[in-house]
Amino acid sequence: MTDLNTLGETWDKLGKYNAFWAVLSDKKQWNEKEFFETGRKEIKQVLDNLKKHKVTPSHGKAMDFGCGLGRLTQALGKYFDEVVGVDIASSMIKQATDLNKLKNVSFKHVTSGDLAPFKTGTFDLVFTDIVFQHMENEYTLHYIEEMHRILKRGGVLVFQLPSEPTNTWKGLLIKGLPDNMLTYLRKGMEMHPIRKDKVIQHLQDTGFNVITAEHDSNHKHWDAYFYYASKT
């Protein structure tokens, strides 16, 4: 199992090598404005989906876990009074801070494998996208428990996670090739899906009410979902 120091070092190097690409690897060179626009669209979609399910979290405090350059943190800052972006890589936190334009958004380097720096029952929304997939399942399951702890009653957790590779040619390659070779080809980014039924079971065991699991159409070679859950 990859320890958290190694995971942090890998992401720190990726952040120094090409942070924009490490966050959204469909382009090697990103235009900053376009990059942040993807975040605004995504957060609007998430909040619209919550509305569709008649869930309206208070717009007090939000967390963007695994914030990278703050693409989604700043987008959340338009809706919430206070937003904190958390990341394991100091290179990401430094660049996110430099790129930040909002007073109500801040960033924190967290390497402990939990959310210990944050008080119980203090967040209205915890969000995380394309983060859990890059760490071993045990870490993900523990972070979900921590997210439950830091949310207020009625607070909402939204996260994305692949369930399994699809049957596209690349999906079949992912199923067939050894994990260490795939990690090498992705410059150290590990991929760790969790099956949808197991995720839902864990959410329920942790005490969440599962609102919905929406298919994430951004990934052709992975059957991935956005999970929406509330703390009852």
156 binding ligand SAM? (CB under 6 A): no
92 binding ligand SAM? (CB under 6 A): yes
Cα separation of 131 and 129, whole Å? 5
Site map (CB under 6 A) of ligand SAM, residues 11-40, x = contact:
x-----------x-----------------
227 binding ligand SAM? (CB under 6 A): no
Q: Which residues pair with 215 in a beta bridge?
A: 225
Nearer to ligand SAM, 7 or 125 (CB): 7
224 binding ligand SAM? (CB under 6 A): no
Helix (H, G, I), strand (E, B) or coil at 86: strand
Cα separation of 71 and 82, whole Å? 16
Measured between its terminal Cα atoms, the distance across the chain in Å is 33
Cα separation of 105 and 62, whole Å? 10
Within 10 Å of residue 159's Cβ, how many Cβ atoms?
25
Minimum distance of ligand SAM from residue 150's CB (angstroms): 14
* Binder of ligand SAM out of 82, 87, 146, 223 (CB under 6 A): 87
Minimum distance of ligand SAM from residue 42's CB (angstroms): 8
Nearer to ligand SAM, 4 or 210 (CB): 4
Minimum distance of ligand SAM from residue 232's CB (angstroms): 26
**Which residues are CB-neighbours of 194 under 8 A, at least 6 positions away?**
132, 137, 140, 141, 161, 163
**Which residues are CB-neighbours of 32 under 8 A, at least 6 positions away?**
20, 99
Residues that bind ligand SAM (CB under 6 A): 7, 11, 23, 66-68, 71-72, 86-89, 92, 129-131, 134-135, 139
